[in-house]
Amino acid sequence: MMRYVRILATLVAAGALLGLPAAGNGAAQGKSKGSEKSCAKKPSVGYSVRGTLVSATADNPATTVVNEASVTLRVTGANSHARNSGEIADQDATQSGVQVAGATYTVTGSDAFTLVLHGFQGVDTPSAGDAVKVGGKIARTKKKCAPEGTATADRYAAPDVRTVTISDRDPDA
C-alpha cells in the first residue's frame, strides 16, 4: 500500500511543478534565446531564372579590373525565391502570386558570374532565342525574424548570380 502512496505523491508533485510558470530565470515571456540565435543567421537560398536570350555582351579580356559582361533575357520562369525577391517585376497583378513570364531580366558584370556556353560549335556565337539559365544564391530573412508587416520582397537581399548558362537553340551554320 505504501508503494502506491509514494507513486501518487510523486505524480502530484510532478504535476505541480509543470503547472508553475518559469520564474527567476530571467527569461522573457515569448521568444526564447533559441529564436534569437536562429534569427542571427540569414540563410542563403537558391536563386534560379530561366528564359530566352535577348542580347549578350562578352567580357573584354584586355581589362582585368572590371567585368563588362552582361546578359539580357526574356523570362519564361523562375523559382519561388526569384519570384518573391522583387528583382523581377510582376507581369500580371490581377493573378495571385508573382507572374514573371514575359519580363526582361539583365545580369550585369557587377555580379562575378561565370558564363557557360553549351552546345556552341566552331565560330557559332550566342544569338537571340537561345535558352538561358541564371543560377545563384540570395540571402533572406526568415519571416519570424522580420519586423511585423515587412513585405516578402523586403526580406530578400540582392541576388548573388554565380552562373549564366546559354544553350544553343538555333541550327548551326
**Block residue for cell numbers 502530484:** 12
Which whole number is the average pLDDT over 158-164?
93
pLDDT tens digits, residue range 28-63?
Answer: 445 555 667 788 888 899 999 999 999 998 877 787
Query: What pLDDT score does 166 carry?
Result: 94
Residues 140, 143, 147, 148, CA torsion sign: positive
Distance of alpha carbon 163 from alpha carbon 169, whole angstroms: 19
The strand pair at 160-167 and 114-118 is best described as parallel
pLDDT tens digits, residue range 99-156?
Answer: 999 999 999 877 788 889 998 888 888 999 999 999 999 999 999 899 999 999 999 9
pLDDT tens digits, residue range 63-113?
Answer: 777 778 899 999 999 999 999 999 999 999 899 889 999 999 999 877 788
Q: Where are the domains of the chain?
A: 38-167
Higher pLDDT, 141 or 2: 141
Query: What pLDDT score does 33 carry?
Result: 59
Query: Residue type for 132, please?
Result: V
Query: What pLDDT score does 20 carry?
Result: 63
Q: Strand, helix or coil at 78? A: strand
C-alpha cell at 62: 584586355
